[in-house]
Amino acid sequence: MKSVIFIAPPAGGKGTLSEYLVQNYSYEHLSTGELLRNKAINDSHLNEMLKSGNLIPDEIMLDIIKDSIEKLPDDKPFILDGVPRTLQQAKVLDIILEGLSYVVVYIDVDEDILLKRLLGRCTCPKCHKTYNKNILAFKPKVDGICDVCQTKLSSRSDDTEETFKIRLQQYKECTYPLIEYYKKMGRLKVISNNAVDQTSTKECLVGVLSD
C-alpha cells in the first residue's frame, strides 16, 4: 500500500484514520511532534528550542523526517503527520519523497461536525487511543477511562469553540494552497469524513491507498 500525507482540518479524523492504518495495515506513524521530542532527549539545543515554544526551523524538522523515513524498511508504508504545513515545506518534502509511492489525502468534513467532534474528543495519555464523548460509536465503555489500559482520559485545554474558529481560519489560510499544489501534481485524493462511524471513510481510504 502507498504511504500517505493527510491534509485535514482540526478534528477532521486524521488521528482516528492513522490509528486504523497502523493497527490494520502495519503503517508507521511519523508524527513530527513525537519525532522532535524524541530527538530532543539527546539534543540539548533542540530541547531548548522546544521549551521556548518557538517554531522549529524547517531544515531541522525536515532533516528529522528524512532520517526517519530512510530508517524504515523499503516496503514499510508510513503516515506523515504534521508536515507539510506550508508550500515551502511541501517543495522540500517533494525532494525527500522522490521515488517513493505516496498519495496526499484531503479529508473533507462539514464545519458543524468538526466542532462537535472537537468539543468531545479525548485521548489516553498512555496508549494514545482516541475517543469522543459526543459520538456514541467512539465513547469509552466507562466514562473518562480508556478501554485498553484503564488510564484516565485527557482532553486538550484548547479544545474550545473559540480556539476552534481561530485554528480553522489559520488552517484555511495555510493549507488551501497545499490542496491546489498537490492537485496540480496529480497526487491529491479527496475523501469525505462526515459519517458518524467512519466505516465508509476507512473503506474509501483503503481503496485510495491500494490503487
In the 3-class helix/strand/coil scheme, how is 96-148 assigned residue by residue?
Answer: HCCCCCEEEEEEECCHHHHHHHHHHEEECCCCCCEEECCCHHHCCCECCECCC
Q: Residue 208: what pLDDT?
A: 94
* Type of residue at 204: C
The cell for 87 is 508550500
Provide DSSP, 24-76: HH--EEEEHHHHHHHHHTT-HHHHHHHHHTPPPPHHHHHHHHHHHHHTS-TT-
pLDDT value at residue 170 = 82
Q: What is the mean pLDDT of each run of 10 residues along the chain (211 residues)?
A: 92 88 95 84 84 78 91 93 89 94 94 90 90 88 95 88 86 87 95 86 94 83
What's residue 71's pLDDT?
93
pTM of the entire structure?
A: 0.80
Taking CA atoms, 36 is separated from 33, 58, 68, 181, in Å, by 5, 12, 11, 26
Q: Which domains does the chain carry?
A: 3-110+167-210 (3.40.50.300)
Q: Please report the pLDDT score of residue 42 as a whole number.
A: 86
- AA identity, residue 31: S
Looking at residue 53, its pLDDT comes to 66
